[in-house]
């Protein structure tokens, strides 16, 4: 049918991430309603939505914490629900809550992640050193996470998500709780990964100032996709000047008491 | 930057046997490391059974005579009698504590991190369980070292070795039970609740502190409850194994319960029908 035809045409070069008609409900409450969008390889895509828009549910489904009853999620063509091993091997994740063990060192945390991907220490060591150097923390390798700042441990998490060489990484509000400088550093680092290393990125946020005109943007509101295009195209279609205005205009019809 | 950050053509990179081994080793290693860093947890895990041994057992020594029942071939001191019960208690606490830490972990996201591994979920959950069991066995042997100086030891030195498989099984059973509970009960975050509704009833309604024939004299009803309590069988399995013997019934019950609890835990954490979904993660 519709979706299948779409999949067939994309088989030659599957997108990094394809969310296809995903709906999900917790009892009577619909958290996601027919959500579809794609993230191209080596592109920076921003998933913009307020708290309660359904971002967490979507994240849970993409990372295979639980499966959606309706629709499918594919990572480089691998169905997350049916072929989760192959799909997850292509995926790196930075969750919003801190997930590093505070009492373990940077290197120990990295070893643990490598092991989860079936990579032993000897094989992981040179690569993790390179990645930690890449995020600018080479001298902190044997430091416990407890003694790092919020921005530094975020950078470790980003390095960790790249450890198994995924071609797609998801970052769930990675700048939450960081100061202006650390926020800018993280953003620059991740944009660099897209430009130089051709990693596809899905970046969720509620902060419109993290969007650049040539980024892809997916606007999620109350479980529905209101727009999915290049940021500049969304702005133009709305007839406004900025993505912030576009966001306000699109979500205006359904005012939400929840604040960002 | 020099080397590419992505690894091309790796969609074929599936988990081989070696990958599984590395994964299991990594999970056990992390759990042990975390445990060693939490010094208070280690101390309290050791102090708890020692309080029972040095105070409770010493006080009860004269009150409660234990007659000769298998596997014992002579009269034994009460301290000797309750030692297997205390070993199982260590594992019971540890099993519940690691299930708690899963709920806590899940909130903290590190449980979610674990589940992003491409290894099959049943394997990840079983590895996590084995990691908890390894930590509990560490605690049991630490207790046995102290008990040794209190003149509590198996009849032959081999007892320390023959008890190991029993500890592995009982640890798995109790850990799997904890895992099932962690997926079902939200209130589990409150440890007092687990103490009242899981740990205390399981511990007291068992053969850990008193032989079942004595319970039978006092309350046949309670004896029946004890007999159906899987914890009783974990205690008896350990008691016999410590003396280099096998209690077939207890072995069967513990193996059966381990399989049942483990299957329930894997089902509960299944992405398609799991309880995780209801939480609205």
Task: Name the residue in chain A with its Cα closest to that of B110.
Answer: A99
Chain A residues with CB inside 8 Å of B120's CB?
85
Q: What is the pLDDT of residues A197-223, one digit of tens each?
A: 999 999 999 899 899 999 999 999 999
User: What separation in angstroms does the CA of A171 have from each of A19, A101, A187?
Assistant: 16, 18, 11
Q: Compute the Cα dihedral for A158, A166, A56, B267 and give only its sign.
A: negative
pLDDT band, residue B281 (cuts 50/70/90): very low
Q: How confident is the model at residue B187 (pLDDT cuts 50, 70, 90)?
A: low
Using the predicted structure, report yes or no on whether residue B202 has a pLDDT greater than 80: yes
Interface test with B, best of A28, A99, A119 (most B CBs within 10 A): A99
CA proximity to A110, closest of A93, A124, A89, A90: A124
**pLDDT mean over A128-135:** 94
Q: What is the DSSP string of chain B?
A: --S-SS-TTGGG----HHHHHHHHHHHHHHHHHHHHH-HHHHHHHHHHHHHIIIIIIHHHTTT------TT-SS---HHHHHHHHHHHHHHHHHHHHHHHHHHHHHHHTHHHHHTTSSS-HHHHHHHHHHHHHHHHHHHHHHHHHHHHHTT---SSTTHHHHHHHHHHHHHHHHHHHHHHHHHH-GGGGSHHHHIIIIIHHHHHTSSSSS-HHHHHHH-HHHHHHHHH-HHHHHHHHHHHHHTT---HHHHHHHHHHHHHHHHHHHHHT-TTT-GGGGGT-
Higher-confidence residue of B180 and A253: namely: B180
pLDDT tens digit sequence for A135-175: 999 999 999 999 999 999 999 999 999 999 999 999 999 99
Q: How many CB pairs under 8 A join A and B?
A: 145
Cβ atoms within 10 Å, residue A139: 9
Residues A247, A131: Cα–Cα separation, whole Å: 35
Give contacts of B7 with chain A, Cβ < 8 Å.
Answer: 164-165
Interval B227-237 mean pLDDT: 96
Task: For residue A74, give how far its alpha carbon lies from the nearest alpha carbon of chain B (Å).
Answer: 13
Higher pLDDT, B93 or A252: B93
Helix H, strand E, coil C: the string for chain A is: CHHHHHHHHHCCCCCCEEEEEEEEEECCEEEEEEEEEEECCCCEEEEECCCCCCHHHHHHHHCCCCCCCEEEEEECCEECCCCHHHHHHCEEEECCCCCCCCCCEHHHHHHHHHHHCCCCHHHHHHHHHHHHHHCCCHHHCCCEHHHCCHHHHHHHHHHHHCCCCCCEEEEECCCCCCCHHHHHHHHHHHHHHHHHHCCEEEEEECCHHHCCCCCEEEEEECCEEEEEEEHHHHHHHHCCCCHHHHHHHHHHCCCCCCCC
pLDDT band at B212 (very low <50, low <70, confident <90, very high): confident
User: Hey, are the CB atoms on B281 and A66 less than 8 Å from each other?
Assistant: yes
A23 touches chain B (CB under 8 A): no
Which residues, at least 6 apart from A141, have a Cβ–Cβ distance to it below 8 Å? A105, A106, A107, A129, A132
Please state the domain extents for chain A: 2-90+166-252
Q: Give the count of beta carbons closer than 10 Å to the beta carbon of residue B70.
A: 11
Q: Which residue of A66, A81, A116 is in closest CB contact with B114?
A: A116
Does A44 contact B at CB distance below 8 Å? no
Residues of A in contact with B19 (CB under 8 A): 117-119
Judged against a pLDDT cut of 90, whether residue B3 lies above it is answered with no
What does R_g of chain B's alpha carbons equal in angstroms? Answer: 21
- For chain B positions 212-251, those within 8 Å of chain A (CB to CB) are none
CA A195: distance to chain centroid? 16
ipTM for the assembly:
0.85
Q: What percent of chain B has pLDDT over 70?
A: 85
Give the full edge-to-edge strand order of the sheet including A78-79: A29-39, A17-26, A70-75, A78-79
Greater pLDDT, A9 or A230:
A230
Query: Taking the alpha carbons of A238, A240, A242, A246 in that order, is the dihedral positive or negative?
Result: negative
* Contact (CB<8Å) A57/B117: no
Asked if residue B100 has pLDDT above 70, the reply is yes
Which residues from B are below 8 Å from A119, CB to CB?
19, 22
Question: Is the model's pLDDT at B12 over the cut of 90?
Answer: no
Cα torsion through B78, B168, B135, A124, rounded to 10? 170
Q: What is the model's pLDDT at position A256? A: 45
Band (B244; pLDDT cuts 50, 70, 90)? very high
Task: Look at B108 and A164 and tell me if their CB atoms are within 8 Å.
Answer: no
Asked if the Cβ–Cβ distance from B272 to A66 is below 8 Å, we say yes
- Which segment, B25-39, B60-74, B130-144, is predicted with the most confidence on average? B130-144
pTM of the model as a whole? 0.87
At A69, the pLDDT band (50, 70, 90 cuts) reads confident
Between CA B63 and CA B80 the distance in angstroms is 15
Q: Which of residues 103-162 of B touch A (CB under 8 A)?
A: 107-110, 112-120
> How many C-alpha atoms does A108 have within 13 Å on its Cβ side?
19
pLDDT at A119 over 80: yes
Q: Report pLDDT for B9.
A: 46
Please indicate if any CB of chain B lies within 8 Å of the CB of A120.
Answer: yes
Which of A150, A126, A10, A169 is CA-nearest to residue A77? A10
**Which residues on adjacent β-strands are paired with residue A229?**
A217
A113 inside 8 A of chain B by CB: yes
The more confidently predicted of residues A21 and A4 is A21
Answer whether residue B280 shows pLDDT above 50: no
B residues 95..114 contacting A (CB < 8 A): 107-110, 112-114
pLDDT of residue A4: 54
Closest chain B C-alpha to A240 CA, distance in angstroms: 35
**How far separated are the first and last CA of chain B, in Å rounded?**
37
What is the distance, to the nearest Å, from the Cα of residue A128 to the centroid of all Cα atoms in its chain?
21
| pLDDT at site A72 | 94
In chain A, positions 82-101, which contact chain B (CB-CB < 8 Å)?
84-91, 93, 95-99, 101
Exposed/middle/buried for residue B66 (C-beta within 10 Å: 0-12, 13-18, 19+): middle
A66 touches chain B (CB under 8 A): yes
The pLDDT of residue B5: 59
Q: Is B280 on the interface with A (CB under 8 A)?
A: yes
Whether the per-residue pLDDT at A227 is higher than 60: the answer is: yes
8 Å CB contact between A73 and A22: yes
Q: Are strands A168-172 and A200-205 parallel, antiparallel or unpaired?
A: parallel
The yes or no reply on domain A2-90+166-252 and CATH 3.40.50.300 is: yes
pLDDT at B126 over 80: yes
Q: Which of residues 247-276 of B touch A (CB under 8 A)?
A: 271-272, 274, 276
Q: Is the dihedral of CA A155, A156, A160, A161 positive or negative?
A: negative
Mean pLDDT within A178-207: 93
What is the side-by-side order of every strand in the sheet holding A200-205?
A: A91-94, A168-172, A200-205, A44-48, A216-221, A224-230
Residue B273 pLDDT grade (very low, low, confident, very high; cuts 50, 70, 90): low
The mean pLDDT value of chain B amounts to 85
Is the pLDDT at B191 greater than 80? The verdict is no
Stretch A36-41: mean pLDDT, rounded?
94
Q: Quick check: A63 contacting B, CB < 8 Å?
A: yes
* Nearest chain A residue (CA) to B118: A85
B259 vs A51, higher pLDDT:
B259
């Amino acid at each position: 049918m519709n979706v299948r035809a779409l999949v067939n045409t994309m088989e030659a070069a599957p997108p990094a991430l394809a969310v296809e008609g995903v709906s999900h409900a917790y009892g009577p409450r619909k958290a996601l309603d027919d959500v579809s969008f794609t993230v191209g390889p080596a592109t920076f895509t921003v998933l913009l939505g307020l708290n309660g828009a359904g971002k967490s549910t979507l994240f849970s489904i993409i990372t295979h914490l639980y499966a959606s009853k309706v629709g499918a999620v594919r990572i480089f063509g691998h169905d997350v629900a049916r072929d989760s091993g192959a799909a997850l091997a292509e995926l790196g994740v930075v969750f919003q809550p801190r997930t590093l063990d505070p009492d373990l060192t940077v290197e120990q945390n990295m070893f643990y992640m490598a092991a989860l991907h079936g990579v032993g220490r000897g094989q992981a060591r040179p690569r993790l050193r390179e990645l930690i150097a890449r995020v600018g923390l080479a001298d902190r390798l044997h430091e416990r996470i407890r003694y790092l700042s919020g921005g530094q441990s975020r950078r470790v998490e980003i390095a960790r998500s790249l450890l198994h060489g995924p071609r797609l990484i998801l970052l769930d509000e990675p700048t939450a709780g960081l100061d202006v400088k650390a926020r800018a550093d993280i953003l620059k680092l991740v944009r660099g990964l897209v430009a130089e290393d051709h990693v596809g990125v899905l970046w969720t946020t509620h902060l419109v100032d993290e969007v650049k005109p040539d980024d892809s943007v997916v606007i999620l509101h109350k479980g529905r996709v209101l727009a999915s295009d290049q940021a500049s195209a969304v702005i133009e279609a709305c007839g406004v000047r900025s993505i912030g205005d576009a966001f306000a205009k699109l979500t205006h019809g359904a005012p939400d008491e929840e604040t960002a | 930057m020099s080397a590419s950050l992505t690894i091309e053509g790796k969609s074929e990179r599936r988990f081989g046997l070696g990958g599984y081994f590395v994964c299991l080793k990594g999970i056990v290693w992390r759990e042990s490391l975390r445990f060693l860093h939490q010094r208070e947890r280690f101390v309290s895990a050791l102090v708890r059974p020692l309080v029972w041994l040095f105070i409770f057992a010493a006080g009860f020594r004269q009150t409660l005579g234990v007659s000769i029942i298998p596997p014992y071939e002579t009269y034994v001191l009460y301290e000797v009698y309750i030692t297997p019960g205390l070993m199982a208690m260590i594992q019971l606490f540890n099993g519940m504590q690691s299930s708690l830490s899963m709920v806590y972990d899940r909130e903290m996201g590190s449980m979610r991190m674990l589940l992003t591994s491409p290894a099959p979920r049943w394997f990840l959950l079983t590895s996590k369980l084995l990691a908890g069991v390894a930590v509990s066995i560490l605690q049991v042997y630490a207790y046995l070292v102290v008990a040794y100086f209190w003149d509590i030891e198996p009849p032959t030195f081999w007892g320390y070795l023959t008890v190991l498989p029993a500890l592995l099984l009982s640890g798995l059973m109790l850990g799997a039970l904890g895992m099932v509970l962690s997926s079902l009960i939200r209130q589990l975050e409150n440890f007092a609740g687990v103490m009242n509704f899981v740990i205390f009833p399981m511990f007291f309604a068992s053969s850990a502190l008193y032989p079942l024939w004595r319970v039978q004299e006092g309350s046949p009803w309670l004896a029946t409850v004890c007999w159906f309590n899987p914890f009783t069988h974990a205690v008896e399995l350990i008691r016999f194994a410590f003396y280099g013997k096998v209690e077939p019934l207890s072995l069967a019950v513990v193996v059966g319960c381990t399989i049942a609890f483990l299957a329930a835990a894997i089902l509960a954490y299944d992405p398609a029908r799991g309880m995780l979904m209801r939480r609205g993660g």
